[in-house]
Amino acid sequence: MTAVSNAVVNDAHEQASFKMSRRRWRDLLGELQRRGDDRRESGAFLLAANTGDHVERVVYYDDLDARCLTGGISFSTTGFTELWRICEEQALRVVADVHTHPSTWVQQSEIDASNPMMARVGHVAMIVPSYGHARSVEECGVHIYLGSYQWIALPAGNVSAVVEIYGLFSRAQTRHFWNMLTRVFGRMTPS
Ligand SMILES: [Zn+2]
């Protein structure tokens, strides 16, 4: 393995960041679960506008290549042809690929690391645990491509430095808000 300079790592890190609405993130998890059916891996590409970093469209592997979910993932060149057609037509670019793993292990397999879906410096490969049953984005593996088959993995708890899920409230925030409301109204209700 050749040494990677700090400049390359910083450059890749800078290009890696993208944003996604919480609703789209939830939909993505639901679809990955459904398509994998708790018995096989599934995946998708996250697309943003050519000039932006907000995920505007999610394209699932099995919609591009109906036979690619084989337990693992065997994505074909015809699938890529279809992906490039969509990107070109709608002026979108691929910011990340996402795929599921069976367990809570979200590191890259040797196959994952040696077959980048997108050989672009700063491309993000996300791995969702438990066939898509992740409770939070922080449980996911986020791997940034540095070129030459080398990657950096974000340390656990640092995922939001690259993947920002925005909008609506998270379940924890909603619970907090609800508790506060009940406390206030509880006090106001005459006994
Ligand atoms: Zn994998």
Give the CATH number, domain containing residue 40.
3.40.140.10
Mean pLDDT for the chain overall: 90
Ligand 1 centre to CA of 126 (Å) is 9
Per-residue pLDDT at 105 exceeds 90? yes
Ligand 1 centre to CA of 78 (Å) is 21
What's the confidence (pLDDT) of residue 97? 98
Ligand 1 centre to CA of 109 (Å) is 5
Look up residue 37 and give its DSSP letter.
Answer: T
- Top pLDDT among 161 and 187 is at 161
Ligand 1 centre to CA of 85 (Å) is 25
Ligand 1 centre to CA of 84 (Å) is 22
Ligand 1 centre to CA of 97 (Å) is 11
Ligand 1 centre to CA of 153 (Å) is 13
Instruction: Give the separation between CA 160 and CA 112, rounded to whole angstroms.
Output: 22
Asked if residue 2 belongs to a domain, the reply is no
Of 5-9, 164-168, 176-180, the least confident: 176-180
Per-residue pLDDT tens over the stretch 18-51: 999 999 999 999 999 999 999 999 999 999 999 9
Asked if residue 37 belongs to a domain, the reply is yes
Number of structural domains the chain divides into: 1
Ligand 1 centre to CA of 68 (Å) is 14
Q: How many CB atoms lie within 10 A of CB 179?
A: 10
DSSP labels, 42-90: -EEEEEEETT--BEEEEEEHHHH-TT-BSSSB---HHHHHHHHHHHHHH
In terms of residue numbers, what domain contains 52? 7-188
Per-residue pLDDT tens over the stretch 58-75: 999 999 999 999 999 999
Look up residue 134 and give its DSSP letter.
Answer: -
Under 8 Å between Cβ of 28 and 98: yes
Per-residue pLDDT at 190 exceeds 90? no
